[in-house]
Amino acid sequence: MDAEEILHLKIRLLTEGATLPESEYGGRKGGAGPVGGRYFLLPNGRACGIPIRSGEQAILYNSAPLIPTENPAVWLYDGIIELQAIPRPRFYDLKTPDGIPYYQIALLHGDRTLATTVYQSCRYWSHGTQCKFCTIPLSYRSGDTVLEKNPRNIADVVLAAEQEGVIDNVLLTTGTPESEDMGIERLIRVIEAIREISQIPIGVQFEPPIDKNEIHAVSNAGATAVGMHIETADDAVREEICPGKFQYGPLDLYKLSWQYALDYFPKGHVSTFILHGLGEDLEKTLSLIRELADVGIMPVVTPVRPSHGSQLANFKPTYVGKLNETLSFYQEVGKILFDSGLNPEATLAGCHRCGGCTPIQEAYDWAASIETL
C-alpha cells in the first residue's frame, strides 16, 4: 500500500471502526484515552486502536467487519486487508505483592507504549462539568483499575514490561484533583520512582498548572515529554464540550504553558490533543495547528470517539459519512507537520509516540511522500 492508501485506511479505521464476531472481546471500557477499541498493526507496521462497534452504532458509522483467520496473528478487515493482532503481553499475568494484577496498574497501548492513569478521578466530575467525551471514573468504579496508583507499583510494571521487551516509552496521565498543582506532584512521585529503575522515555499529561514552575519540576524529575490538551481550537465547541476545563483555562493560558514547556522539552515533545468531529470550525482548527507546529508544539489531531458511559455516547461525530472530506483535512494536517519538520516518529514519548488513536504519523508520511515525488 502506498502512503495515501495507508492514510485512507487509518482514517477509515479510526472513524468508521469495525465490527467483530460476537465471540470476541471489544476492548477496555473506561479511562482517559479512547476506549472501546482494540489494537492492531497496519500494513505499514504502525499501531491502530480500532473502535469496535456493533448493532445500530455499526450501521451509523458504516463499520466494516474485522474477522480472525486461521493464523491467530492475522485478521482480515473489510474482506481484503490483513491486519496484525498485537499479542497480549505476558506481564499482564503478574501481580503486586498485595495482589493487584499488573494490568490494573498500566496497559500496553499500541505495540510499544505503557500507559497509566495515575489518579482515576477528576474534579470536573464532582462539579458536574466534566468533559463530555470523558469516562475517567468508570474503569475504577467497575473494578477494572484502582483509584490511585502507587508509584512503586507503576515502576515495577514498567520494569516487567521493559524486561519483556514490549515497550519503549511510558505515558502517565491523570484526572485533575482539586489542588492547584493539577495533580503534577503525584505525577512527579511516579516519574521519580520509574527513574530509580529505568531510563525509559516518559511522557506526562496534565492541565496547565497555576504555577508554571511545576512544568519545570516535571522536567527536573526526569520526564521526556509533556502534553497539555486544549481538546479543540474552537472556543464555542470547547465551552460546550469541556465546560470545566474551559472555565479554568483559556487558550492563552495553554499558549503560555506550551511556550514555557518548550524551554525544558525539545521540539515535538510538547503536545496537545486537538479533537476532530465535534462540529468545530475547521479553518480555525488548521490555523491553530499551523501556529503550534511552527514553534515545535505537536498537535495530536484525533477523531473524537464517543464512548459508552460518556455524555457523548449518542453523539454523531461530524466526520460520519464524510470520508473524503476527512482525508483532505488530515492531508492538510500532514502538510503542516511536514513543513514544520515535526515528525511524530522522531519523538521519544507522548501520545503520538503510540499513535494508535491519531493518523498524524500517516498524514506526515503522506506529505513526505508527495514532497519527494
Q: Which residue ranges make up the site for ligand SF4 (CB under 6 A)?
A: 32, 122, 124-125, 130-131, 134, 136, 175-176, 242, 245
Angstrom CA distances, 298 to 228, 265, 292, 331, stand at: 11, 12, 7, 16
Cα Rg of the chain, angstroms: 19
Of the pair 125, 260, the CB lying nearest ligand SF4 is at 125
Looking at the DSSP assignment, which residues form a beta bridge with residue 133? none
Q: How far is the CB of 197 from ligand SF4 (least distance, A)?
A: 28
CA–CA separation, 336 and 285 (whole Å): 12
Closer of 205 and 224 to ligand SF4 (Cβ) = 205
Closest distance of CB 246 from ligand SF4, Å: 10
Q: How far is the CB of 136 from ligand SF4 (least distance, A)?
A: 4
Q: How far is the CB of 196 from ligand SF4 (least distance, A)?
A: 27
Nine-digit cell string for 263: 524551554
CA angle 175, 172, 217 (to 5 degrees): 90
CA 341/CA 5 separation, integer angstroms:
22
Q: How many CB atoms lie within 10 A of CB 324?
A: 9
Cβ 242 to ligand SF4 shortest distance, Å: 6
CB 305, min distance to ligand SF4, A: 13
86 vs 228, beta carbon nearer ligand SF4: 228
Cell numbers describing residue 234: 474552537
* Helix 184-195 and helix 151-164, axial crossing angle in degrees, nearest 10: 50
Q: Between residues 309 and 356, which has the closer beta carbon with respect to ligand SF4?
A: 309
Nearer to ligand SF4, 246 or 265 (CB): 246
Residue 32 or 194: which CB sits closer to ligand SF4? 32
Report the run of H or E that residue 302 belongs to, with start and end: strand 297-303
